[in-house]
């Protein structure tokens, strides 16, 4: 017998109210379905919605920054955008609306506290933005992004510099006249539950041939972020 979703209809109504959008329960449930739950229950997962939501979020934040900060140079706008859409920031926003409680996770993720993993929370938030875009249109998606992330856009220093460790690492290496970081990523596991391992190399006699940092994540992007974070710790030590 197929396990029933952990999320109940009243809970979805509460989440819908927190999001401030009118969206069907089935569509919202799709956005909350992790690949592990989908695999175990032979259903669709939220990865395509996450892909869409990432693009919608990026465009919305870019436009918001452009309008709110007419005097900022392109480089500063890019830094601020990176901080706002980082896993660290998105996970914090997801936690603020208790998104983790609504996730549909496979047994393995449930056992390893998947509801509190920053990468899963950030991915789910992007998927929710994606499904709002599909169901309600671009204006509603923009309004949702503004409600959830508008305060961060105004003051991204709320999140520490490590919120965008890849940029911070590149800037640190440049300041030391070292070459940019080189990322090597491998993956392991079945398609529905791949794990990505990233290593960061600095092609300089002082550090070669060993990596200066390693990281692991549920996607290449997240593994590289964790590897960059570890590299910053190592190089700053």
Q: What percentage of the chain carries pLDDT values higher than 70?
A: 91
Question: Do 20 and 132 belong to one domain?
Answer: yes
Question: Do 80 and 139 belong to one domain?
Answer: yes
- Report if residue 2 sits inside a domain: no
> For position 46, which CATH number holds?
1.10.1520.10
Question: Do 117 and 207 belong to one domain?
Answer: no
Instruction: Provide mean pLDDT across the span 66-90.
Output: 87
Round to whole Å and give the CA distance between 222 and 216: 7
Of the three residues 141, 159, 177, the one that is the final residue of a domain is 159
Instruction: Please state the domain count of the chain.
Output: 2
Question: Do 136 and 184 belong to one domain?
Answer: no
Of the three residues 136, 159, 182, the one that is the final residue of a domain is 159
Return mean pLDDT, the chain: 86
Catalytic residue among 50, 54, 135, 142: 54
Question: Do 47 and 99 belong to one domain?
Answer: yes
Q: What angle do CA 178, 184, 187 make, to 5 degrees?
A: 160
Question: Do 120 and 83 belong to one domain?
Answer: yes
Closest by Cα among 133, 108, 97 to 34: 108
Question: Do 195 and 154 belong to one domain?
Answer: no
Round to whole Å and give the CA distance between 201 and 124: 31
Look up 54 and say whether it is catalytic.
yes
Catalytic residue among 50, 109, 123, 126: 126
Question: Do 101 and 19 belong to one domain?
Answer: yes
Q: For tokens 């030590």, what's the residue?
A: 237
Rounded alpha-carbon distances, angstroms, from residue 222 to 117, 134, 164 = 11, 25, 11
Look up 126 and say whether it is catalytic.
yes
Question: Do 44 and 130 belong to one domain?
Answer: yes
pLDDT given at position 86: 82
pLDDT greater at residue 88 or residue 197? 197
Closest by Cα among 58, 211, 30 to 131: 30
pLDDT tens digits for range 44-62: 999 999 999 999 999 999 9
- Report if residue 1 sits inside a domain: no
Flag whether the pTM goes above 0.75: no
Domain range spanning residue 122? 9-159
Give start and end residues of each alpha helix (H) in 32-117. 35-41, 47-68, 74-84, 87-96, 107-111
Residue 141's pLDDT band, with cuts at 50, 70 and 90, is: very high
Round to whole Å and give the CA distance between 52 and 38: 19
> For position 181, which CATH number holds?
3.30.160.20
């Amino acid at each position: 017998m197929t396990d029933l979703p952990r999320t109940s209809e009243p809970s979805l109504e509460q989440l819908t109210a927190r999001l401030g959008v009118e969206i069907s329960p089935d569509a919202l449930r799709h956005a909350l379905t992790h690949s592990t739950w989908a695999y175990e229950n032979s259903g669709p997962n939220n990865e395509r919605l996450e892909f869409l939501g990432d693009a919608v979020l990026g465009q919305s934040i870019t436009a918001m920054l452009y309008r709110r900060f007419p005097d900022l140079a392109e480089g500063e706008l890019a830094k601020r955008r990176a901080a706002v859409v980082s896993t660290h920031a998105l996970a914090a926003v997801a936690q603020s609306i208790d998104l983790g409680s609504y996730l549909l996770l496979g047994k393995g993720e449930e056992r390893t506290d998947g509801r509190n993993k920053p990468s899963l929370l950030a991915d789910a938030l992007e998927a929710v933005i994606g499904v709002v875009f599909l169901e309600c249109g671009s204006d509603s998606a923009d309004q949702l992004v503004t409600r959830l992330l508008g305060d961060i856009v105004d003051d991204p220093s709320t999140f520490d510099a490590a919120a965008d460790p890849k940029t911070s690492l590149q800037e640190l290496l440049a300041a030391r006249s070292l070459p940019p970081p080189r990322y090597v990523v491998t993956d392991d596991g079945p398609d529905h539950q791949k794990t990505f391992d990233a290593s960061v190399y600095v092609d300089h006699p002082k550090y070669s041939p060993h990596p200066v940092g390693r990281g692991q994540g549920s996607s290449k992007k997240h593994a590289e972020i964790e590897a960059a974070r570890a590299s910053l710790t190592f190089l700053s030590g």
